[in-house]
């Protein structure tokens, strides 16, 4: 006799859902009655693995973010501070000041006879376009760890010394570690690039800017642009070349600025007019 036959109009649950409503092991209740209400099923291995991977990715993102902050901001702060300290420690003293500016000499300038050893400081660079207070130390060599990351501007081994015939070629970072050449793309033809050794000013003027690939090493040749398979002409001019990475935050290419010596002056005569006012 069914529940309906017994005089009731409402069928029993086991009549509507005969499969779902099977007796459990205890003989009472539905088949899933063994699991207490509110209990969760054990986490499957795939779900657990996804959870772990998610946590690892979040951690990796935080670590990467901290590295970027250190690389782009903190190394810049520390680099700028170190470069200012280096300039102060060089203790060359200030050039005389007054209404008169340094005398312009257009004859052959005094030049260092021998290049210094790698890592040795021997010059300072002033670039008025970068600000009235811009001055950075220059050291021999372009090793990243010992010169570019720690001192600032590095002089390519084998290229001319300041004021000498040939090409005085230097490199520096465009981002991070004090970023001495951060504004290199803002230089215009005719801008002054002033190099000071302990006793002499060398005033160069920008003549050209361009972008090349790293393999185009002819940009630092004694005569810029002359490749290794071409004969080198007699040296009659005094060049300067600034190199830095391009584009920003990449080393895919190089940003190049060329210039030529305009004049020189003894430091004791005063400052070049480009640095006055």
Numbers of helices and strands, H then E, in the chain: 3, 8
CA angle 140, 79, 253 (to 5 degrees): 65
Other C-beta atoms lying within 10 Å of the C-beta of residue 268:
10
Cis before 247 (ω within 30)? yes
Residue pair 121/197 in contact (Cβ under 8 Å)? The answer is: no
| Integer Cα distance of 192 and 182 in angstroms | 16
**CA trace torsion 68, 69, 73, 75 (10° rounding):** -70
Nearby residues of 214 by Cβ (< 8 Å), 6 or more positions away: 251, 253, 254
Q: Check if 254 is active-site.
A: yes
- Which residue in 155, 174, 246, 254 is the catalytic one? 254
- Which residue in 173, 174, 196, 238 is the catalytic one? 173
Three-class SS state of 170: strand
- Which residue in 196, 245, 246, 258 is the catalytic one? 245
Other C-beta atoms lying within 10 Å of the C-beta of residue 156:
18
Q: Check if 245 is active-site.
A: yes
| Integer Cα distance of 183 and 170 in angstroms | 15
| Integer Cα distance of 135 and 150 in angstroms | 15
Q: Check if 8 is active-site.
A: no
Q: Count the alpha carbons within 13 Å of 264 in the hemisphere toward its beta carbon.
A: 20
In the numeric block, which tokens belong to residue 187? 């230089």
What is the bridge-based pairing of β-strands 253-266 and 121-126? unpaired
Active site residues: 173, 245, 254
């Amino acid at each position: 006799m069914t529940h309906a036959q017994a005089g009731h109009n409402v069928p029993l649950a086991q009549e509507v859902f005969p499969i779902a409503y099977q007796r459990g092991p205890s003989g009472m209740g539905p088949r899933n009655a063994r699991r207490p209400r509110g209990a969760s099923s054990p986490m499957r291995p795939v779900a657990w693995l996804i959870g772990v991977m998610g946590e690892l990715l979040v951690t990796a993102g935080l670590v990467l973010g901290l590295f970027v902050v250190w690389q782009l901001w903190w190394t810049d702060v520390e680099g700028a501070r170190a470069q200012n300290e280096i300039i102060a420690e060089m203790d060359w003293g200030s050039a005389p000041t007054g209404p008169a500016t340094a005398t312009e000499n257009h004859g052959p300038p005094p030049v260092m006879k021998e290049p210094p050893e790698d890592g040795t400081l021997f010059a300072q660079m002033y670039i008025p376009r970068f600000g009235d207070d811009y001055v950075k130390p220059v050291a021999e060599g372009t090793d990243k760890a010992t010169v570019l990351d720690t001192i600032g501007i590095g002089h390519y081994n084998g290229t001319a010394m300041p004021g000498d015939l040939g090409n005085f070629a230097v490199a520096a970072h465009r981002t991070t570690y004090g970023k001495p050449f951060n504004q290199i793309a803002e230089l215009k033809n005719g801008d002054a690039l002033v190099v000071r050794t302990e006793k002499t000013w060398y005033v160069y003027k920008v003549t050209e800017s361009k972008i090349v690939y790293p393999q185009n090493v002819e940009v630092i040749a004694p005569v810029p642009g002359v490749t290794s398979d071409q004969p080198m002409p007699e040296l009659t001019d005094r060049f300067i070349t600034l190199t830095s990475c391009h584009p920003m935050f990449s080393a895919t290419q190089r940003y190049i600025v060329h210039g030529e010596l305009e004049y020189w002056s003894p430091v004791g005569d005063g400052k070049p007019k480009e640095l006055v006012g």
